[in-house]
Amino acid sequence: MSSARRTDQRPAAAHVADSHDLIRVHGARENNLKDVSIEIPKRRLTVFTGVSGSGKSSLVFNTIAAESQRLINETYSAFVQGFMPTLARPEVDVLDGLTTAIIVDQQRMGADPRSTVGTATDANAMLRILFSRLGDPHIGPPSAYSFNTASVRASGAITVERGNKKAVKATYERTGGMCANCEGRGQVSDIDLSQLYDDSKSLAEGAFTIPGWKSDSQWTVQVYAQSGFVDPDKPIREYTKKELRDFLYGEPVKVKVNGVNLTYEGLIPKIQKSFLSKDKEAMQPHIRAFVERAVTFTTCPECDGTRLSEGARSSRIGKISIADACATEIRDLAEWVRGLDEPSVAPLLTALRDTLDSFVEIGLGYLSLDRPAGTLSGGEAQRVKMIRHLGSSLTDTTYVFDEPTIGLHPHDIQRMNDLLLRLRDKGNTVLVVEHKPETIAIADHVVDLGPGAGTAGGTVCFEGTVEGLRAGGTVTGRHLDDRATLKETVRKPTGTLEIRDATTHNLQGVDVDVPLGVLCVVTGVAGSGKSSLIHGSVPAGADVVSVDQSPIKGSRRSNPATYTGLLDPIRKAFAKANGVKPALFSANSEGACPTCNGAGVIYTDLAMMAGVATPCEDCEGKRFQPSVLEYHLGGRDISEVLAMSVARAEEFFGGGQARIPAAHKILERLADVGLGYLTLGQPLTTLSGGERQRLKLATHMGDKGGVYVLDEPTTGLHLADVEQLLGLLDRLVDAGKSVIVIEHHQAVMAHADWIIDLGPGAGHDGGRIVFEGTPADLVADRSTLTGEHLAAYVGG
């Protein structure tokens, strides 16, 4: 191997191609951004900070990353673009120096009940190939080990179009790994018929109690009533055996209802297709509540919850089947794969080892590949998405992260920081939206947005180094070195919630008394069993209000006023004051502008090009018919009310002609959780993750519960907002509530009355109580990882 010798040792003049070292943004106006202009250095780690709602996501995700993705999509042919999501150009004057953007966000993974950690990554695909090559007995190709593939057998005549056409007999067979009993879900369902209908009534009298099934108009109900299989005027309990069998289990057949051809199907298979084939977490709350009432899920007796057919479970490598491999913790599975020595599949083993090692390196070694993807927290989902990028050979790429430290114990944050720095050191631009001081501290460049949230934000308050931020006097700079102090006195419990022999997931027969009437914090490293202990053991009864991290369901028509139920008393007050129907004051009902159907904008679909949204000319974006806007309450029409901020509306509905106590109470709760800057009509789709969780908390604060269970309420909260959250938790406890918080934030731990620490590690190394007591005792003891980090945080 030879190489050319360089004789000219003089320094070369800078090449013009090396001058593009900045991403330039000029005049960004997405959402609440106010003509933002910044320059971001390439191949550096830039952290974007600012209070929740200050415009960080609007700048990073909706402007820089969105334009990069849009430009890349445009390089494909029109045919390919037709299959891709269409993206509109962001509201910005100039975007220069962009590189390919890879977005690693917190969106939950897999709404499909068959989606697991293994199927969401490449791990399951590689395992299936491995078992199809080395498994004994050999049962077939990789599809024979897939629980998403059903076995198919068919035979018949086919016509071959070659020369003389002739029919030949052919058979077709495909071996799949799906368990036929549970169809690859691992669970079977048992339906409580008393929750589907009232058997003392007839169909004509409205026997169905299923949400949305109304006797008079609903097509589904009409199919049953007019099918001819049952008597619609006879109470269901008086059906003959044949009628009841047809009603509950009838095969699909075509029937004519009011001159329209429709399909009749038994009630049980209908419910299974309508409700049970969908992910429970993606359902609307009232539908989910119905499914939880009506359906009990039990582990499939045939596959024992593995989702796989008997053939797939019988094929083994050594003593391990693919079901065993998927149920094993990933760090143990990585060791098993490392012990396999088979030259014929050496490249596959290397790739599988690298993938499994990436799980361990990123702190997810405690997961198993058969863990349903929908059960991962936002932080876990984000780290799973990171795995495919860790070993990537791509450089000069822009990686965009949305609070990558969410759900991480302080012990794990250093590991995440190392990964971010490793991506940067490979020559990539790393953009991180983050609140944690530990991650802000490693930034090469910081952009601080604010000064406030919503309309009070959207400007760049600081741009420069971390040291410059500390001295800059911005809200973030002032709070960067904030440290909570331990309370001198803690509250005394008024009772206890006994948990005995808890074994959910990795819990190892845990016995613990959770104190009531105080602020109790449950902590421990990610995967130690905190959520399993509280969500799995605290009964979700009428007295327990649980605010978890599941995403808010809502379209661009949903807003804080509709989500919190605030709009109902407002509509009734408008209707009463003007002597008209409440439906007129809904943009989703009779009062909607007929041109834009109450959306306020007209969406024009341009096929493979980005669609265009233009404000409706008839209602000028107000969403209501002109006649509706003639009705006033307290001198304001309904569109003006929806344009108010929470703080302004709280004042407006607090007294005078527009006094509405029910609305004022909801607005007070929204202000309590720090959402006073939100406008009532702002679409839910434009809210940040932290705003959505606090909106959910404000909604549940009205519930009549004695025990509040909060799952990482500091998610998405700025350092300055954590103090307000602590004040809110104190007010809940002082009002006689019991508050149990699953949390990693040291400020919340220091503020607690009682701490329950799980660990010592994650997965099978966790699931035990390693400390119970006051924060002061934990700091003095320093016997656990949490104790060490809390002591360092409070300077103990």
Q: Would you say residue 17 has pLDDT above 90?
A: no
Residue 278 in any domain: the answer is yes
758 in the same domain as 674: no
Q: Which of 640, 664, 686 is the last residue of a domain?
A: 686
548 in the same domain as 559: no
Can you give 100-145 as a three-state secondary structure string? CEEEECCCCCCCCCCCEHHHHCCHHHHHHHHHHHHCECCCCCHHHH
Kindly report, residue by residue over 431-481, the tens digit of the pLDDT: 999 999 999 999 999 999 999 888 889 999 999 999 999 998 899 999 998
Q: Would you say residue 3 has pLDDT above 80?
A: no
Residue 147 in any domain: the answer is no
Residue % of the chain over a pLDDT of 90:
52
Residue 138 in any domain: the answer is no
- Compute the average pLDDT of residues 180-189: 88
pLDDT of residue 657: 85
**Of residues 24 and 257, which shows the higher confidence score?**
24
Residue 134 in any domain: the answer is no
Domain count of the fold of the chain:
4
pLDDT of residue 1: 47
Weakest mean pLDDT among 170-174, 367-371, 630-634: 170-174
606 in the same domain as 492: no
| DSSP character string of 131-191 | HHHH-BS---SGGGG-TT---EEEEEEEEE-SSS-EEEEEEEEE---B-TTTTTSSEEEEE
Q: Which of 662, 686, 710 is the last residue of a domain?
A: 686
Q: Would you say residue 278 has pLDDT above 80?
A: no
- Compute the distance between CA of residue 553 and CA of residue 93 in angstroms, rounded to an integer: 33
- Compute the distance between CA of residue 267 and CA of residue 247 in angstroms, rounded to an integer: 6
666 in the same domain as 564: yes
Q: Would you say residue 256 has pLDDT above 90?
A: no
Residue 281 in any domain: the answer is yes
pLDDT of residue 550: 67
Kindly report, residue by residue over 482-507, the tens digit of the pLDDT: 888 899 899 999 999 999 999 888 89
Q: What are phi and psi of 498, to 5 degrees?
A: -85, 130
- Compute the average pLDDT of residues 62-73: 93
Residue 464 in any domain: the answer is yes
- Compute the distance between CA of residue 433 and CA of residue 219 in angstroms, rounded to an integer: 48
CATH of the domain at 789: 3.40.50.300
Q: Would you say residue 652 has pLDDT above 90?
A: yes
The domain containing residue 402 runs over which residues? 16-108+376-479
**Which among 753, 739, 734, 743 has a CA at the least distance from the CA of 707?**
739
CATH of the domain at 294: 1.10.8.280
| DSSP character string of 508-532 | -SEEEEEEESSEEEEEESTTSSHHH
682 in the same domain as 569: yes
Residue 62, by phi and psi: left (phi above 0), alpha (psi -120 to 50) or beta?
alpha
514 in the same domain as 475: no
Q: Would you say residue 609 has pLDDT above 70?
A: no
pLDDT of residue 373: 85
- Compute the distance between CA of residue 562 and CA of residue 66 in angstroms, rounded to an integer: 28
Q: Which of 67-81, 274-288, 607-621 has the highest mean pLDDT?
A: 67-81
Q: Which of 299, 325, 356 is the last residue of a domain?
A: 299
Kindly report, residue by residue over 416-436, the tens digit of the pLDDT: 899 899 999 999 999 999 999
568 in the same domain as 531: no
Residue 335 in any domain: the answer is no
Crossing angle of helices 689-700/661-672, nearest 10°?
Answer: 130
Kindly report, residue by residue over 100-149, the tens digit of the pLDDT: 999 988 776 765 778 899 998 889 999 999 999 999 999 999 999 999 99
For residue 269, cis peptide bond before it (omega within 30 degrees of 0): no
Q: Which residues of 368-383 are buried (b: 16+ CB within 10 A; e: fewer)?
A: bbbbbbbbbbbbbbbb
Residue 534 in any domain: the answer is yes
* Cα separations in angstroms, 579 against 144, 193, 263, 491, 630: 67, 44, 45, 52, 13
489 in the same domain as 465: no
Query: What is the separation, in whole angstroms, between the first and last Cα of the chain?
Result: 61
- Compute the distance between CA of residue 560 and CA of residue 558 in angstroms, rounded to an integer: 7
Question: Which amino acid, residue 775?
Answer: P
561 in the same domain as 540: no
CB 624 within 8 A of CB 593: yes
Kindly report, residue by residue over 704-744, the tens digit of the pLDDT: 778 999 988 888 888 888 888 899 999 999 989 999 999 99
- Compute the distance between CA of residue 447 and CA of residue 429 in angstroms, rounded to an integer: 14
pLDDT of residue 385: 86
Q: Any residues with CB less than 8 A from the CB of 544 and at least 6 apart, and which?
A: 538, 705, 706, 707, 709
88 in the same domain as 74: yes
- Compute the distance between CA of residue 309 and CA of residue 302 in angstroms, rounded to an integer: 8
Beta strands in 560-667, from DSSP E residues, in sequence order? 601-606, 609-615
Q: Would you say residue 156 has pLDDT above 80?
A: yes
pLDDT of residue 364: 92
pLDDT of residue 406: 85
675 in the same domain as 589: yes
- Compute the distance between CA of residue 241 and CA of residue 214 in angstroms, rounded to an integer: 25
Residue % of the chain over a pLDDT of 70:
94
Strands in 101-104's sheet, in edge-to-edge order, are 101-104, 398-402, 429-433, 45-49, 445-450, 459-464
Q: Which pairing describes strands 22-28 and 36-41: parallel, antiparallel, or unpaired? A: antiparallel
Average pLDDT, the chain: 88
621 in the same domain as 671: yes
pLDDT of residue 632: 94
- Compute the average pLDDT of residues 215-229: 77
**Which among 131, 148, 184, 143 has a CA at the least distance from the CA of 303?**
184
CB 643 within 8 A of CB 669: no
pLDDT of residue 415: 86
pLDDT of residue 611: 66
Instruction: Return the number of other C-beta atoms located less than 10 Å from residue 160's C-beta.
Output: 11
pLDDT of residue 553: 67
pLDDT of residue 212: 78
